Structure 1
């Protein structure tokens, strides 16, 4: 579908260019559609951002589930290994949701979209660990890796693995 193609292209453009810099003309070019078509589907730059964030959200959760073991400690380790790959290949400028929040701190719809994404990731981590009581702690590790990745790279993942093993071991005792 054209609307999905546009959302995917917007996601890529915002990921590479950020949210402030690209003009609507630049976004139109990135999508390979006319300005009229772009505005038909997404009537404002903010709606384009929300579409890109929602598209990325679905793509990210599906990516984390690829080849995932059943909910367990191994599933959580798998998620963090997938996070490493995601950061390497899909997040050249860090977490797109966090960047959107920083660029538009007072935009209600963008804030709601980011908060929904983050809450879904938190709940996902709780389900995949089979430990919903640890959802927040695992989410904080996830967000920490996302934030620290540009500085620490693989060291952030290695540290998260150790913290996960310690956290899950302590709670099982």
Structure 2
């Protein structure tokens, strides 16, 4: 990825995070990217593609924040991963998940839905793998999604509840009782 592409993607991400997906006009998006209109359209030919590029950029940043280390042989406590999600929410997403907001703004868009599904699946798979809880991806997803969706209303209270659920995961995982059909 070139510096210009990264600059555009970062600017688009910040513009959509700040203004939502229906409010910013093309001039607002162009200003956020710091490039000319011609350059913006050269790299991202439509508004729909701008949203997808912004979310792809968001996905990369989120994954780097929550999972900064490469997968190692030593398991990482699920509570540590949940703490990192809460740090992300405090700094980046105080109003809720940008991926869900994008899908809510255009519920019939299959590309947006696929990107949301891929983002959430990758997060759950990586968290399960790194915490040695393979097979519990569904439960992990529910814990993290619950944290993210309740964050705008409950903040740190959501984090405390998610961490309580994290303490139950090893027992549920060992017993096999938590697998979601």
> TM-score band, normalised by the shorter chain?
over 0.9
Aligned residues: 172
Partners of 1:129 and 1:7 lie apart in 2 by 31
Q: Please, which of 156, 159, 165 is the counterpart of residue 157 of structure 1?
A: 159
Residues in 1 aligned to 2:151 and 2:70: alpha-carbon distance in whole angstroms: 22
TM-score (norm 1): 0.93
2-side partners of 1:12 and 1:114: how far apart? 18
Q: Deviations over 1:77-136 (max 9, x none)?
A: 111111111001101321000101101111122221111111111211211221111111
Deviation of 1:72 after TM superposition, in Å, equals 2.9
Shift of 1:169: 2.7
Which residue in 1 is equivalent to 2:178? Answer: none
Given the alignment, which residue of 52, 58, 75 partners 1:72? 75
Q: 4+ residue stretches of structure 1 with deviation over 2 A?
A: 66-73, 169-173
Secondary structure of residue in 2 paired with 1:93:
coil
Output the CA distance in 2 between the equivalents of 1:169 and 1:72.
16
Whole-angstrom distance in 2 between the partners of 1:156 and 1:3: 36
Q: For residue 69 of structure 1, report the CA deviation from its aligned partner.
A: 8.9
CA distance in 2, matches of 1:171, 1:29: 49
**Alignment check: 8 A CA contact 1:16 1:93 kept:** no
Contact kept in structure 1, 2:94 and 2:151, CA below 8 Å:
no
Q: Which runs of 5+ in 1 are unaligned?
A: none
The 5 Å alignment of 1:46-61 reads 46-61=48-63
**Which stretch of structure 1 is more off in the superposition, 101-110 or 142-151?**
101-110
Shift of 1:68: 8.4
Structure 2 vs 1, CA of residues 158 and 67 (structure 1 numbering), >3 Å: closer, same or farther?
Answer: farther
Partner of 2:136, secondary structure, is helix
Equivalent residue, structure 2, for 1:88: 90
User: TM-score, structure 2 length as denominator?
Assistant: 0.89
Conserved in 2, the CA contact under 8 Å of 1:64 and 1:82? Answer: yes
Write 1 or 2 for the structure with the bigger share of helix.
Answer: 1
